[in-house]
Amino acid sequence: MRLVVEDIVKQFDEKKVLQGASFTFEKGKIYGLLGRNGVGKTTLFNCLSGEMSLDGGRALLDENGVVRELKHEDIGYVYSLPILPEFLTGYEFIKFFIDINKDKVQMDRNIDDYFDLMTITGEDRHRLIKGYSHGMKNKIQMLLFLITKPPIILLDEPLTSFDVIVALEMKNMLREMKSEHILIFSTHILQLASDLCDELVVLNNGKLSSVPIDLLHSAEFEQSIINLLKDENHVDHS
Ligand SMILES: Nc1ncnc2c1ncn2[C@@H]1O[C@H](COP(=O)(O)OP(=O)(O)OP(=O)(O)O)[C@@H](O)[C@H]1O
């Protein structure tokens, strides 16, 4: 399976954000998306997930040579600030989510098993989401995609809110999930990117480019990335 991003263009009034972004992402890999503040990482995710319309280009899903337009349901999108129904408990929400998706999901675990997997304690799963920490809300969002298993999972600065233990658990989970999915996450944490990613993709001047794989594990990694992202024309629009 491959996600083929072809010449995506997106602008807001006069502000050109994506200017012909192209890249091919493959199943079985974790991709780190790097780019300076305001360069358009979230915009790219919004375009791929169908939340924003494109001004040009397209995104295609290639499954064993059968190519089609990417659909909203192909994407699991983990937001940096998850929006969840705060008036439900985590357990009620997951139960509700399974109920409304029951035609689409193959339940290979029961609800408590999913919570166990996410290391959300018995007590916490029956508390209102309203009282959950940012990290716990992210975990609930991840849980949704463990259930529906969309082929592509986009994570917008996900692991930043987790403490070291939870971040490690999540990293292990992403590593386990990657054989069945295309995982793309945006981050500013270079250590995380070099730890977790199989490939790094840089968004700069509205275009995507690959970071040579040998840089990823080199001693000069950090400096090389900084050099790549250094751009005299960079304007932080955010
Ligand atoms: N709905 C919108 N309307 C107008 N401008 C927008 C909209 N969404 C994003 N932008 C602008 O597009 C540019 C890219 O924003 P985006 O949030 O995609 O950047 P980012 O790379 O995710 O930034 P950060 O790393 O700071 O999260 C910014 O200049 C932003 O102000």
pLDDT digits (tens, 9 = 90+) for 75-127: 999 887 888 999 999 999 999 999 998 888 877 788 999 898 888 899 999 99
- What is this model's ipTM? 0.96
Q: Residue 37 C-alpha to ligand 1 middle, in angstroms?
A: 8
pLDDT at 73 over 70: yes
The protein residue whose alpha carbon is closest to atom 9 in ligand 1 is 43
**Class in CATH terms, 2-83+150-229:** alpha beta
Pocket flag, ligand 1, residue 39 (CB < 6 Å): yes
Pocket flag, ligand 1, residue 51 (CB < 6 Å): no
Tokens of 42: 């979230």
pLDDT score for 15: 93
Nearest-atom number in ligand 1 for the CA of 46 is 18
The protein residue whose alpha carbon is closest to atom 14 in ligand 1 is 40
> pTM of the full predicted structure?
0.89
Nearest-atom number in ligand 1 for the CA of 237 is 29
Domain boundary assignment for the chain:
2-83+150-229
